[in-house]
Structure formats: C-alpha cells, structure tokens
C-alpha cells in the first residue's frame, strides 16, 4: 500500500506531448510545427552568436563568483530589462516609479505578479477578483492565475474565427461589462496563439475603456523584437499604456528574443504611481519570491544584462533578433504564396497579417488530425502552427499537406 495510491495520473502538457509524438514518428518527411522555439532554415535550434560571445566573456571573468543574487535579482539585469520594455527615455523610469523583479522566465514573472495581486489588489486576499484571459490564450495563463488563488478566471472575446481576425467589438464589450477592477491579461505583441494583435488605434480604444472602468493591466511580453524585428515597435502598446498613466505589470520573457529558453530569464516590470508605492510593492514581492525560489538563477540574467548594457553587444543582439524575425516573415510570405498558387480554398491573407512565431491557420480539428496522422505534420489541435518549424526544404510539403487537408477533409 502506498501513501499515494489515490493520486491520479495527470495528463501531459499538450504541446510537449505533441513533440514527444513527433520524436517517435519515423516518417522521413515529418515536420514539427508545435512547440514555440525558433529554428534555423536547417531546422536546428539556434544559439545566438551574441549569446555565445557573452558566455565566453562570463567564463573568462575572474571577478565573477556564484554568491547568492539579491532576492529580487541582479540589479543591472532588472533595470536594463525594464528599460528595454519601456524605452530609454521613459518618463516613468526617470520618475523612479518603475521597478523589476527578476523571475524564472515569463511564467515566473506572471506567477509573482499573480501572487502579489491576489494578496494585495482590490482588497486584501480578494481571491474573487475576476481575471480575464483572451479567448484563446497561452494554455498556461489560466493555471498560473488559478494556482495563485484566483477563483474566477474568465475569457474575453478576442479571436473571430469566421473573419480570422480580432473580434474588437466583442473585446470592447467584455471590457465594458467586466466588474470594475477586473484584471486583464494582455499580450503585448505577437499574440499567442493567434498571431493577431490590435492596431494602434484599437489599442487606444482598449486603453480608454480600461482606464474609465478601472481595469487592471497585466501585460505578457514574450516576443519583444521577435515579432516585427523592432524592439520599439513591439513595445508600442506597453509604452502607450504607461504614458496614459496606468499602474501596471509587465511579465517579460527573454526566452525567445535571446534564445535563452532553458536559462529561465524573465523580469516582472512594475509601474507604480510613485516611488513610495513602488517600494512597498517590491518589498511584498520579495516575500513571495523568498518562499518560491528564494533568489533567482544567475547565468541567463548575466548574459542578458551584459548584452543590454554594452552598446556594441546590444547592436549585435538586435541584429540577431532581426535575423530570427526576418526568417519568420519570409516563411509567412512563402507559405501564403504557395497556398495561393495551389489554389487552396479559403483566404490566406491572415498568414502574412499575423505576426510573431505563431499562426492560427483556421484548420478544423479534423483537418488538424489529418495533417498529423496522414501527413506527419504536427500542429496544435487549435490549428496553431509555429512558423519557425517551416524551412525552405519542407515548406512545399507543408503547403501541399494543408491543401489536401482543406480539400479532402471537412
């Protein structure tokens, strides 16, 4: 008899199960369009050249040791990370009302922010505050906020399947109807999984309602630079909200734009009304960090910090980011062109209108199943594909397979 006899088997995380199935598949033309990590045109992981360079600098630097970082993380990392999101000339930073908590990737930043809000936002320990996440959204958003204690996690209208675009009306309507003080998790750019972002005008409308109805802004920023190739462009929405005077959180991930997935580099940027409030907020976040991971890991933060704080390395990094963004844009162009050339039924403009790593193809569950089982092309049940999985060598096969799926399967 075991103490754990009644512990049920948990289902695997879908995206990792997909990759596990892909690995076991022996079909020579198999393609993995599942998990969200960048791949080169040879379908290989890519360690950014600037990262390789900085790793060497770190290992040669005799002045570095492995003493505990402060609980809130490496100070130079936190400030450089927040600066990347808010901009060098950010008035909020100049006004000393911006702080950061180095966290374990974007997930860790979301988690610390969620734990803080559940304890201290909209009352004390108000687990009933509604948390809104987009329909659809990254599959882990719900779980992170639920485990932080929030009891009421709801979807807000976002993806219009019929139009294959943003359901702005539905979104604005949910904003108008949400209880005051509700928390909204917003994707800063390159929405996961739809790749569909509001335009600047649409963001302005969203911000207006949120301000009027006292809704809390919690940005998830996992693709800055990666989406358009420009750090500034991809941070426009965040910076607009800050300039509108919101107190807000930004969960930043450096997994994708630095290719540092497994070193868990993230930052929770906190924008407060003033320095005094910021200080108290950070002190409470410190307590939360202490009972979760005590203090954060150094390696990834050092790499990012050195890069962001050195003008030359910073330029080199931007070049590396553009390389990734440009390859994705090229694959988008080519996929759409090939589908149009094949005369595949439907419109395929959304492939080039969408931005970032992912595209919501619009394929139905049956069509997705056909792709996987018959064509050995692996994608999420939602129809989401990772553009990074496409290469000049497999794009014809993928376009052909989509064509078959759409024409043969309803």
Alpha helices in 343-394 (DSSP H): 349-353, 365-375
| H helices present in 40-74, as ranges | 49-60
Nearer Cβ to another protein (124/162): 124
3-class secondary structure for 194-218? CCCCCCHHHHHHHHHHHHHCCCEEE
CB of 171 to another protein, least distance (A): 23
Q: From the centroid of its chain, how far is CA 400?
A: 30
Residue that has been written with the tokens 């088997």 in this structure: 9
Active-site residue, selected from the candidate residues 46, 159, 174, 256: 256
Residue 60 CB, nearest approach to another protein (Å): 9
CB closer to another protein, 56 vs 233:
56
Token duo for residue 243: 């300039």
220, 234, 306, 317: which one is catalytic?
Answer: 220
CA–CA gap between residue 346 and residue 263 (Å, rounded): 41
Residue (21 or 160) nearer to another protein, CB: 21
Q: Which is nearer to another protein, 37 or 85 (CB)?
A: 37
Q: Please state whether the peptide bond connecting residue 193 to the residue before it is cis, i.e. omega within 30 degrees of 0.
A: yes
Residues 215 and 132: their CA atoms lie apart, in Å, by: 10
Residue 88 vs residues 135, 226, 309: alpha-carbon distances, Å = 33, 19, 12
- The residue (of 169 and 262) whose beta carbon lies closer to another protein is 262
Catalytic site residue 220? yes
CB of 104 to another protein, least distance (A): 4
Active site residue 203: no
**Rounded Cα distance, 31 and 388, in Å:** 11
What is the separation, in whole angstroms, between the first and last Cα of the chain?
50
SS3 sequence, 356-369?
A: CCEEECCCCHHHHH
160 φ, ψ (degrees, to nearest 5): -100, 100
| Least CB distance to another protein at residue 139 (A) | 9
Q: Which residues contact 62 (CB under 8 A, 6 or more apart)?
A: none
- Of residues 317 and 348, the one with the C-beta less far from another protein: 317
Q: How far is the CB of 88 from another protein (least distance, A)?
A: 25
Rg of the chain (C-alpha set)? 22
Name which of 3 and 162 has its Cβ closer to another protein. 3
The reply to whether 147 belongs to the active site is no
Strand 248-253 versus strand 216-221 pairing type: parallel
Q: What is the DSSP letter of 389?
A: G
Closest by alpha carbon to 276, among 76, 89, 99? 99
* DSSP 8-state code for residue 129: S
- Of 30, 83, 138, 336, the catalytic one is 138
Q: Which residue has the tokens 């920023």?
A: 221
Find the helix or strand (DSSP H, E) in which 101 lies: strand 98-104
Segments in 183-274 forming alpha helices (H): 200-212, 231-234, 236-243
Q: Which residue's CB is nearer to another protein, number 70 or number 155?
A: 70
The minimum distance between CB 318 and another protein, in angstroms, equals: 19
Q: Active-site residues: which are they? A: 138, 220, 256
């Amino acid at each position: 008899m075991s103490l754990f006899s009644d512990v049920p088997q948990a289902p695997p995380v879908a995206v990792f199960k997909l990759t596990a199935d892909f690995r076991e598949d022996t079909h020579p033309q198999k393609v993995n369009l599942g998990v969200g990590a960048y791949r080169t045109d040879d379908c290989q992981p890519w360690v950014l050249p600037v990262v390789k360079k900085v790793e060497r600098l770190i290992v040669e630097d005799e002045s570095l040791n492995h003493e505990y970082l402060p609980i809130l993380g490496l100070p130079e990392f936190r400030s450089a990370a927040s600066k990347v999101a808010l901009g060098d000339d950010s008035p909020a930073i100049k006004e000393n009302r911006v702080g950061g908590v180095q966290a374990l990737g974007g997930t860790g930043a979301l988690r610390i922010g969620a734990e803080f809000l559940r304890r201290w936002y909209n009352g004390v320990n108000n687990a009933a505050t509604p948390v809104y996440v987009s329909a659809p959204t990254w599959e882990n958003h719900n779980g992170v906020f639920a485990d932080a204690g929030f009891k009421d996690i709801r979807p807000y209208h976002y993806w219009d399947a019929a139009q294959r675009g943003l359901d702005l009306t539905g979104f604005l309507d949910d904003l108008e109807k949400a209880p005051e003080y509700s928390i909204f998790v917003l994707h800063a750019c390159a929405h996961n999984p739809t790749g569909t972002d509001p335009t600047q005008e649409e963001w302005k409308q969203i911000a207006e309602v949120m301000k009027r109805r006292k809704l809390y802004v919690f940005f998830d920023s996992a693709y800055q630079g990666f989406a358009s190739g420009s750090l500034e462009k991809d941070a426009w929405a965040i910076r607009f909200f800050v300039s509108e005077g919101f107190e807000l959180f930004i969960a930043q991930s450096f997994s994708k734009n630095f290719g540092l997935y497994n070193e868990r580099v993230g930052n929770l940027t906190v924008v407060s009304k003033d320095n005094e409030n910021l200080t108290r907020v950070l002190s409470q976040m410190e307590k939360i960090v202490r009972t979760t991971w005590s203090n954060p890991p150094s390696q990834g933060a050092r790499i990012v910090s050195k890069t962001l704080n050195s003008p030359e390395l910073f330029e080199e990094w931007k070049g590396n980011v553009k390389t990734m963004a440009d390859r994705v844009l090229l694959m988008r162009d080519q996929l759409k062109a090939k589908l149009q050339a094949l005369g595949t039924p439907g419109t395929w403009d959304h492939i080039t209108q969408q931005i970032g790593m992912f595209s919501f193809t619009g394929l139905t569950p049956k069509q997705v199943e056909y792709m996987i089982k018959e064509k050995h092309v692996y994608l999420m049940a939602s129809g989401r594909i990772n553009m990074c999985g496409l290469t000049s060598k497999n794009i014809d096969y993928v376009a052909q397979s989509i064509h078959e799926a759409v024409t043969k399967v309803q």
